[in-house]
Amino acid sequence: MPRIPRLLILAQSPPPTHGQSVMVGHLVNAASSRFPDKVVHVNLLLSRDEQDVGTMRPAKLFALAACTLKAIAACLFKGAREIYYVPAPGKRGPVIRDVLLLSILRPFTSRLILHWHSVGLGAYLADHPNDPWARRLHRLLRNHSLSLCLSNSSAADVAILKPARIAIVPNGIPDPCPDFPSILAARQSRLAARKAALANPDAPPAPVHLLYLGLCVRSKGIFDALDTAAALTASLNSRHPACPVTLTVAGPFRSDTDATEFHNAVAAARASLPTHLQALFSVNLPGFTGPDEKKALLAAADLFVFPTRYENEGLPLTILEALAFGLPVLSTRWRGIPEALPPDYPWLAHPDNLTQLPTLAADALVADPFLSLRSWFTKGFTLESHLSQILALLVPPNDPTSP
């Protein structure tokens, strides 16, 4: 009877809850259910919360050592010689982590599978040829068996590592909006009210709700979202009070300093408006939101504003969540984002010219793409589609040991 090689999934599942850990959690659940005798999961539990991801703390070395011992035990005693791993983004701390971990595990590995949830390591390695940690990681990852990439842009980043195979598998999520018909009706009703308010001074004002979801750092676009909300307040209400604008920024700040800077920017944005428009502009900061609160925000929003230029952005799950709700997305032509949206999608700004954002936002707020965006999601970004593609690559159907 042939020996059954086991797959070691060495990656962090929630908590903390962020896009990468959520997708790993889905994979672990699906793989363990479908192949219970072939999968071993060692939770690479290094980060305490979303703000802690990618940072360096001495305590992480002890956690890394414990996870390494568990992984070695899985290799030696459970025959886990195929390793699935989510590698570092292009940051020094995670690069050092990967060198320490993979230097020990690589001799036990017959097949190394890398799943690129972040983008930027390839560019980092190319830009740091004299860094001994970068050189060592390059050697450890070179010629690995399989790279799972979220988009063609992330595949281009990892080409420097010369993987034996690259597979493009977009993210997929459980449908967060199973009651879409009622959401669609509400969106169309709000659109009609908005158009009437803009055209007719005697029509009731139609509030506009903008939504940002994600980690609150400048490079992900929170300040650009704020500028867009302020500019929309001025343009939508230039002739008469038609559309009060509310921006909801839902997510954690990485530090108190970042939070203070944004609060000051909110005050400055309000003060920049004419006095008679200031009451028509507001910003909500609910912080981190759970699943139910997030669904309510997505259902109530009129435009998802995510003008990211984040250096390690891959394919944000929040954009897929917006699509599931038929919610128009205002974002950037950055990394895998254009590939997550329909061809010729009109509301993407060039990442080097975000002055386009208010004009694009105003156009999106009088359009009706709701049903087409929902259809785009259901055709290409469901969790079932994502997992079926991933599992077929992790355990190929022609594998003689497959169940």
Determine contact, residues 338/317, Cβ cutoff 8 Å: no
Q: What is the pLDDT of residues 299-343, one digit of tens each?
A: 999 999 999 999 989 889 999 999 999 999 999 999 999 999 999
- 33 neighbors 68 (Cβ within 8 angstroms): no
Fold of the domain built from segment(s) 6-172+382-394: Rossmann fold (3.40.50)
The residue-averaged pLDDT of 185-200 equals 98
Residue 44 φ/ψ, nearest 5 degrees: -80, 70
pLDDT at 401 over 70: no
* 274-284 per-position pLDDT tens digit: 999 999 999 99
**How many Cα atoms sit within 13 Å of 103 on the Cβ side?**
14
Q: How many CB atoms lie within 10 A of CB 285?
A: 15
pLDDT of residue 54 exceeding 70 = no
Q: Is the pLDDT of residue 17 over 90?
A: no
Cβ pair 320, 171 in contact under 8 A? yes
pLDDT reported for residue 53: 57
Amino acid at 385: S
Q: Tell me the domain boundaries of the chain.
A: 6-172+382-394, 180-380
**Residue matched to tokens 């690069």:** 95
CA distance 192 to 92: 51
Global pTM?
Answer: 0.89
Closest residue by Cα to residue 390 from 108, 159, 84: 84
Q: Which CATH superfamily is domain 180-380 in?
A: Glycogen Phosphorylase B; (3.40.50.2000)
pLDDT of residue 59: 73
Position 114 confidence tier, pLDDT thresholds 50, 70, 90:
very high
Phi, psi of 253 (to 5 degrees): -85, 145
Show the tokens assigned to 364.
């999106």
Q: According to the model, what pLDDT value does residue 19 have? A: 79
Burial category of 275 from C-beta neighbours within 10 Å (exposed 0-12, middle 13-18, buried 19 and up): exposed
